[in-house]
Amino acid sequence: MSNDPYSNPSIEKRSNGLKSFALQGLAVLLIVGVAWIFMEGPLARRKVLGNLRVTDTNPGHPSLMMLSSDFCRARGENDDINESTVIVVRDENATELATGKLGPGVPIDADSCDFGFVIEVPKAEIYRFSITGRGTVTYSYEQLSKNGWNAGLVIGEEQTP
């Protein structure tokens, strides 16, 4: 208790309670703001799950080799496509956003082999995927979001995302 005849303990308690409430509110706003920055804001990153499908379109010169029921590899003109092939993702300004590598080839049928990949990308309006100078497949943010952050690339067939 204070010896000050002008002090009022109930007013001091109320004032301290308001200060505590205000500090708690600021802490919550700070946490929500930081979470937004990393989840939806400029630092948000998404995992894109994708695959590159190599389809053999020239039976006289096969571009695939089925090694087993679980493993295949590209050959001939596509022999540079394998589990260590680099995939690059760029934005609408051709700025590199991320790189990754293809996984091992998995047979889809007698004429197709899929090489999976996972790449974590920051938020951008446009995502341009390219593999060893074979052209570019472009997705918008909306397309990838609508597709559940899955991207498909194809060698040997016409492709539209």
Q: What would the pLDDT profile of 22-70 be if each residue is shown by its tens digit?
A: 667 666 666 655 554 555 555 678 999 999 888 877 665 566 677 777 8
pLDDT digits (tens, 9 = 90+) for 11-26: 666 667 667 776 676 6
Q: pTM (2 decimals)?
A: 0.67
> Comparing 3-7, 34-38, 70-74, 127-131, which segment has the lowest mean pLDDT?
34-38
Place of tokens 């997705």: 139
Average pLDDT score over the chain:
79
| Separation in Å, CA 28 to CA 19, 24, 33, 144 | 14, 6, 9, 31
Tell which residue, 57, 43, 48, has the closest CA to residue 89.
48
Task: Give the separation between CA 149 and CA 71, rounded to whole angstroms.
Answer: 25
Q: What is the dihedral of CA 55, 133, 115, 69, to 10 degrees?
A: 50
85: tokens are 């092939």
Domain ranges of the chain: 1-43, 45-155
The answer to whether residue 159 scores a pLDDT higher than 50 is no
